[in-house]
Structure 1
């Protein structure tokens, strides 16, 4: 019973890493190429290839469980993209944030009026 529960846990973990890599790859592909240069990050080609390989390794792990080390390395790359590169790209491209140029971190600044 314990082994069956562990296999279900590993199945869900592999599925979560697969989805996480797919979402990160989609975000890397949809970002503009010049935003990577403006954010002083690696190129768009670098991140799309790296995250594409990560996605491929995650798919192959379903067939070849011996690729666990590569899957963990890909997970690290996906986390780096998500917590470092993606926020920098959003800052450069505006990030979909709406508001005026006088908006501060806690709301609009109206000059003390």
Structure 2
């Protein structure tokens, strides 16, 4: 019984991690190349390769997301979403979430 629950939890974590990696890759591919340079981040080609490799690794280790490769893949996606994406939004003039008291 415990093994079945543990398997389902790992599968849910793996699918969630894979979703984060694919979302980061798609967001990266939709951005203009000059925005990366203007935001003082690495190039679009660099981030596209890193995130494509992360998504591929995330797909391969979907049943064991807590392996070292699975964790590195999630970290790559998280770094892009937490650091690069907000800088690109600021450079391109996109606004993030706008709450009732303005952007946050």
Superposed pair shares fold, TM > 0.5: yes
Kindly tell me the number of residue pairs found equivalent between the two proteins. Answer: 98
Aligned to 1:52: 52
- Runs of at least 5 residues in structure 2 that lack an aligned partner in the other structure: none
Gaps of 5+ in 1: 98-105, 108-113
In the alignment, the residues of structure 2 paired with residue 3 and residue 93 of structure 1 have an alpha-carbon distance, to the nearest angstrom, of 48
TM-score using structure 2 length: 0.86
Structure (1 or 2) with the larger CA radius of gyration: 1
**Aligned equivalent of 1:29:** 29
- For 1:32-58, what per-residue CA distance to the aligned partner results, in whole angstroms no more than 9, with x for missing partners? 000000000010001010000001001
TM-score, structure 1 as length reference: 0.79
Shift of 1:62: 3.9
Q: 2: CA distance between counterparts of 1:7 and 1:68?
A: 14
Higher RCO by CA contacts (8 Å cutoff, separation 6 or greater): 2
Give distance in 2, aligned partners of 1:66 and 1:23.
17
Structure 1's consecutive aligned runs of 4 or more residues displaced over 6 angstroms after TM superposition are none
Residues 1-80 of structure 1 aligned to structure 2 (within 5 Å): 1-62=1-62, 65=64, 68-80=67-79
Task: List per-residue Cα deviations over 1:19-78 (Å, max 9, x = no partner).
Answer: 110000000000100000000001000101000000100111147x49921110111111
